[in-house]
A = this chain, B = another copy of it.
Amino acid sequence: MQAPMANLTPRQTEILQFIEQRLRAEGYPPSQRDIAEHFGFAQNAARDHLQALARKGEIEISPNDARGIRLLREQTPPGLPLLGRIAAGAPITAPSNAEHWLELDPGLFQPRADFLHRVDGDSMIDAGILPGDLVGIHAQSEAENGQIIAACLYEPRGGFERITLKRYRRKGSVVTLHAENPRYEPIVIDLAQPAEDQEAAPFRIAGIMGGLLRTGAPR
């Protein structure tokens, strides 16, 4: 049902970007001749490109209207996907896993967030992270000691991966994932002793915490 995104050619992408840029800069779209002049070709080349873009669903053309170009696939309103359970093997950042999209500037977090993760336990309560909080995660596969990470743990029953927030600490080949709650035991993983009784890699770093959004007051 949705539009099949772009099998746009590089040239067509250039032209689309030019239109977007001019729209932002001027407040109104360029004319066909504006486009032609900018790229150094004839007006009809611009027209051909516009028709190609229209055919591919990127723009809509109002016949006989000067500058009658409407962007269809426009603003990706800067937002963040809220990721739920992760299908095993699928890349973390795959937006197909998104539960919701929140209109939230990724740059508000530090480091900038790539996705959000909803906390579902009280295991990090002593770090001021409550159940239901949305944590901004910067996707990266390594972490420094003491950082709070989104750990991707394989769930044996169910066959999916789950993201859990833990404080990361590594000494040699031994990784410890600490909860910030005395009622939880730390998880200890020795990277030098692989496979053991688990089938797949039991653990990987999905990213590091860059901040937190709580959408409501505590009860």
Q: Could you tell me which A residues sit within 8 Å of B by CB distance? A: 23, 26-29, 31, 62, 65-71, 102-105, 108-110, 125, 127-130, 133, 146-148, 208-219
- State the CA gap A126–B112 with chains docked (Å): 27
Are the C-beta atoms of A70 and B217 separated by less than 8 Å? no
Contacts of A129 in B (CB 8 A): 128
Are the C-beta atoms of A28 and B26 separated by less than 8 Å? no
Are the C-beta atoms of A212 and B211 separated by less than 8 Å? no
Contacts of A128 in B (CB 8 A): 125, 128-130, 133, 214, 218
Are the C-beta atoms of B127 and A218 separated by less than 8 Å? yes
Are the C-beta atoms of A110 and B216 separated by less than 8 Å? yes
* A215 in complex: contacting residue of B68, B109, B216, CB < 8 Å: B109
- State the CA gap A32–B131 with chains docked (Å): 55
